[in-house]
Amino acid sequence: MKILAKLAPLAAAAALLLAPPVLAQEAGDWTFGLGAHGVLPTSDNGSLAGGALEADVGDNWRPTVTAEYFFSEHWGVEVLASLPFQHDIELNGVRAGSTKHLPPTVSVQYHFNGGERVKPFVGLGLNYTIFFSESTTGPLAGTDLSLDNSLGLAAHAGLDFAVGKGKWLRLDARWIDIDTDVKVDGTGVGSVNIDPMVYGAAFVWAF
């Protein structure tokens, strides 16, 4: 009986995963999502000015929107957009400036069948990060800070939880390759590797 009691949760989980899928889309379907995501740069963002300065880029959260077109039951193309993110920049632990960016990302995604309530997916695509509104303070006060735009790969994975017909709660994570060349008063001082993890949640519905 003890063995059966221990196996019961596993059996219930297996039944959930093997149940007929009810979340499947069809070719020509669209889904839209509204949520919020946090951009959390890697902890080691690189060295500037020949190694004299260690750069650190801060975290930030913003509202996001997604749209995905399904060209088959499992495959779709998703576009991610957001309000501008804003990040503080520290040099050797001292706040030296800030920047805003927009990270439009296009991904090709595969949606697994999953079970009645949960449907996992994975994706791979391209990100183009646009930096703007750079400002300086502290050790860079009075200088002109410029960050080049970035083009890189983006990997995506998540889970859709059914909350109604054609409606899901999505929890997801992305890794984005973001590298930018840094200029101060027009002179290149090195590159910053932001390479963030992006975590978030969204409400998604189908049309």
DSSP state of 41: -
CB-side neighbour CA atoms (13 Å) of 6: 3
Q: How far apart are CA 193 and CA 56, in angstroms?
A: 10
Residue 103 to residues 41, 42, 122: CA-CA distances in angstroms?
13, 16, 19
Domains of the chain: 27-206 (2.40.160.20)
Q: How far apart are CA 162 and CA 5, in angstroms?
A: 28
Asked whether the CA dihedral 13, 19, 21, 23 is positive or negative, the reply is negative
| The pTM of the whole model exceeds 0.75 | yes
pLDDT of residue 23: 57
pLDDT of residue 194: 95
Query: Residue-wise pLDDT tens for the chain (207 aa)?
Result: 443 344 444 444 444 444 444 456 888 899 999 999 999 998 888 889 888 899 999 999 999 999 999 999 999 999 999 999 999 999 999 999 999 999 999 999 999 987 778 999 999 999 999 999 999 999 999 999 999 999 999 999 999 999 998 899 999 999 999 999 999 999 999 999 999 999 999 999 998
